[in-house]
Amino acid sequence: MYASFLSIGAYVPKKCLTNNDLEKMVDTSDEWIVQRTGIKNRHIADDDEVTSDLAYKASEVAISRAGIKKEEIDVIICATISPDYLCMPSTACIIADKLGIKNIPAFDISAACSGFVYGLNMAKAFIESKIYKNILVIGAEKLSAITDYTDRGTCILFGDGAGAAIIGSTDDKSKSILDIHISSDGKYGDLLITPAGGVKNPSSLETVENRLSFMKMKGNDVFKIAVRTLTKDVKDILAKNSLTGDDIDLFIPHQANYRIIESVRNKLKFDPNKTVLTVQKYGNTSAASIPMAMNDWYEKGKLKNGNLMLLDTFGGGFTWGSGLVYFNGK
């Protein structure tokens, strides 16, 4: 028995934050942002809309497209770095309650932008070891709540949104989640960090005044390691499975920066028409980025049953991962 990717869904908050809006908030320009990142717009959740709301809406779409009943879901995994609550309850438990599901395991994973691919790997392992049959894997973020809108180095990058998938099973390898590779290196933790709010630096008047509960990033250092790691990861997973770029129908990289994606794509000599790009309209939505990008192409009719997707991700931690996944949705 193999794990199988049965459906994709997403939710994008209505409100937009354009480069022109950001020009009024920090010392930046539309020209700089587009040239350095490719981003033109991001979507921002309402004040009363939290991560579990975005995730719940994306999940409803994924469940309906998979054609299963909510009661058939055996596990809920939510990847997020912007949970509704810092410690508990988990966002996955809140999503389960909103969906009206109980008495199943539900938990969050924290692997920054790589969270969705980490979640897929867990779902694959659960299914192939025959522990569970149907798993809801979600990547959901309200990054606007942990973004410092006085820091031009980060506030231009991030947006909100959610993507969700139902992972089930198949006995057909050509409809399966073929392979997933995930990894990390904690020595780079300081390059992308939210310094306060955890037990190391509990929130205090001082941490609030110094804006230490927001994401801090040494962008240029992250950029270089991201390009190197994303490229190597793809080469490794293709070689391990005796495949080449020509065997791939869609390359779906983490949507952090157009220049990173282009650099990786050029090194791998992938066809631009097969490379999914949504960073220009959603910005970087961390764990939600890959499922939102996937959903975008699904809704445009460009992701079809039997297509082989190559996923490639990189994020804080550092964490990274890649996946070879046949789409088995309708």
Residue 103: both structure tokens together: 């008495």
Helix axes 258-268, 30-37, angle to 10 degrees: 30
CB of 141 to ligand ACO, least distance (A): 8
Given the residues 121, 155, 254, 307, select the one marked as catalytic: 254
27: left (phi over 0), alpha (psi -120 to 50) or beta: beta
Q: Which is nearer to ligand ACO, 96 or 261 (CB)?
A: 261
Report the run of H or E that residue 4 belongs to, with start and end.
Answer: strand 2-11
Is 254 catalytic? The answer is yes
Query: 113 and 289 in contact (C-beta within 8 Å)?
Result: yes
CB of 301 to ligand ACO, least distance (A): 29
- Cα separation, 142 vs 288, in Å, equals 10
CB of 28 to ligand ACO, least distance (A): 3
CB of 75 to ligand ACO, least distance (A): 24
Q: Which is nearer to ligand ACO, 37 or 52 (CB)?
A: 37
**Terminal Cα-to-Cα distance of the chain (whole angstroms):** 20
Q: Which is nearer to ligand ACO, 89 or 219 (CB)?
A: 219
User: Which residues of the chain form contacts with ligand ACO (CB under 6 A)?
Assistant: 28, 32-33, 36-37, 112-113, 152-153, 156, 192, 219-220, 222-223, 226, 256-257, 260, 284, 286, 314-316
- Cα separation, 314 vs 320, in Å, equals 4
Q: Which is nearer to ligand ACO, 259 or 302 (CB)?
A: 259
Given the residues 78, 93, 113, 155, select the one marked as catalytic: 113
- Cα separation, 140 vs 160, in Å, equals 8
Query: 41 and 281 in contact (C-beta within 8 Å)?
Result: yes
Q: Which residues are catalytic?
A: 113, 254, 284
